Structure 1
Amino acid sequence: MSTDYQQARIALGERLRELRQTCPTGKLTGPQLADRLGCTHSKIYKLENGKQTATAEDLRAWAEATSHPEATAELLSRLTGFESRIRSWRRQLASGHLPVQRTWNAEVARSKVIHIWEEAVIAGMLQTTDYARHVFIRYAEFQQSKPDADESARARLKRQEWLYESGKKLHVLMWEAALHARICPPSVLAAQLDRLAGVIGMDSISLGIVPLGAPLKLAPANGFCILDDRLAITEDWHAELWLDDSHNIATYLKVWNTLRESAVYGTEAQNIIYAARRALNTH
C-alpha cells in the first residue's frame, strides 16, 4: 500500500475521531458509537487509526451517528480523493474489463511519451488481439468478473493506433521471462512473438529485452507504465495504483532507467525473441 494512501487514510481516521469527540450531545466513547452504528468496537478503532478503509456507507452513518450530518460531503470527498489513487479491481471490474480499457485509452491518447516495464506478460501496447483475449479470459476467471474478453481485447488493440501518430514515442522494457509465459496456447504465443520481433526498428517504438542471465541492479518486480511526466500506473493483485505526484513518478522513472542498463536492443533483442519462438516447437 502506498505511503500517500496510508497517510490519507490516517488523516481521515483522525477526522472521524474528531467528529466522535465533538458530538453536540456530548462526547461519545468508542463503544457508544459502535452501539449506535451497530458494529463492533474494533471497527471504530480500525477506522480511527487508519487500519481499515471506510466505505461511503460507513462515512454517511458516522456523520449521522455523531450528529454531524453537515460533514458527510467532506468525508465523501476525502474518500474519493485517496481512492482515486488506489483503484481496486473489485470496484473497477464490477462492469468488466472494457470500462478499464477505455479509461486507459483516454490516458494514453493524451500522452506523448510512454515508458513501460513488464516482467510477466507482453506489454499491452504490443499485444495481438488473440493474446490480449486470453489475458482477459484468465483475469476474468481469477477475479470472477464479467466475461468480456472479446470487447476488451478490441479496446486494447485500438489503443495501438497511438503508435502511428506523429510525435509519439513508446519505450518498452520486458524481462525475457514474459516471452515464455504460457498464459495462452502455444500458437497464440508464437504469433505474439512474431509481432514483437516485427516492431523492432519502428520509429515510434524502442523495445529492450532484459535477458534472464543479465546482471541486475534491481530485482524485477511488478509491471508499470509512466505517461509523460504526469502519471505512473502500476498494479498488484488487489488494485491499480495511480500516482500523480512528482516524487513517485521520478522514482518509477529511476527504476525504469536502472532496469534499462540490463537490457539489450535491436538484433540482440530479436535473437532472444526468436529463441523463445523456437522453444515453442520443442514442447
Structure 2
Amino acid sequence: MSHVVSAADSLSALSSRLDSAIQAVFDPMHLTGVGAYWRVVLVSLIVHVTIFKAVPIVTRLLMLRAYEQMSDGDKRSWDICVLALLHSAFDAAFIIAYFNNPALNGDKMGGYNEQFEYLLATTLGYYVWDLSICLSDYSNYGLMYLIHGGLGVFGLIVLTSRQLQFYAIPYLLPELSSVFLNIRHLLKYAGKANSLVYKVNFLLFLVAFISIRVGFETYHSFYLALDVYQGNTGNVFYPFAVYFAILGVTLTALNLIWLRQILNAAYYTLFAGASKRTKEAQARKDE
C-alpha cells in the first residue's frame, strides 16, 4: 500500500511541476487556458483517438459488406467523417444551449461562463486531433487544411483564457451545417448519392450554410471588426481581438467562395439528375 501511496504522491508532484512550467510559459502570453485545461484537452484527445480507432470495428459490425467494398482511402475518409460528425453534433448542441446565455451576450468581449469554458476545452481536444491528421497526411490535405486546423487550435486556446468567449457562438455554431455536410460525405461513401435521403440532407445543409455561415457568422464578424477598429475591446488582450476580427473577415470571404461552389453542387444534386431523367424519357418517347 505504501508503494501505491508513494507512486500517487510522485505523480501528483510531477503534475504540479508540469502545471507550474506550463503556466510560466503561457500565462505571460495571456493564454491562461493552457495551464488551466491541459488535462481536459489531453483526456479529450485520448477519447477522440479511441473513438477513431473504434469506428472501423463498429462499422464492420453494422455494415460489413458496404465497408469492405470501399477502397483503403475511402475507409480512412469514412472513419474521419464519422468522428467529425460526432464532434460537429456535440459542438452544435452545446453552442445552441448557450446561445442566449446572459453572461456571454451581455459582454461580448469579456463575458465569462466557467462551464462553457470547460466545454470549449473539451472540444479543443478534437481540434488537436484534427491538426495531427493534417500533419500526418499532409500530402492529402495540404497547407490550407493545416492552416485551418492551426487557427482553430489557437482560437480555442484564446477562448479558454477568459477572453472573447461570446465569439465561440458565431464561430462554432456553423458546426451545425457541418453535421449535414458529414452526413452527405458518409452517404456518398455508402453508395447512396442518388437517394432521396441524400438530396434532403443536402437541402438542409444548404439552408444551414446560408443562414448560419453566410448570415449569422458574417453579421457578428462585421460587428467584431467594427469594435476592434473603434477600440471597443474592453479588457481583452488587444492582439487577440485583432486576431479574431481578421479570422472573422477571412471566414466570411471563404464562406462566400464556398457558397458559389455549393450552389453549383446544389444544382447537380437537386435538379440535374431529374433533368437528365426527363430528357431520357422524352428520347424514349420520340423513338
The TM-score range, normalised by the shorter chain, is under 0.3
Q: Which protein has the bigger strand share?
A: 1
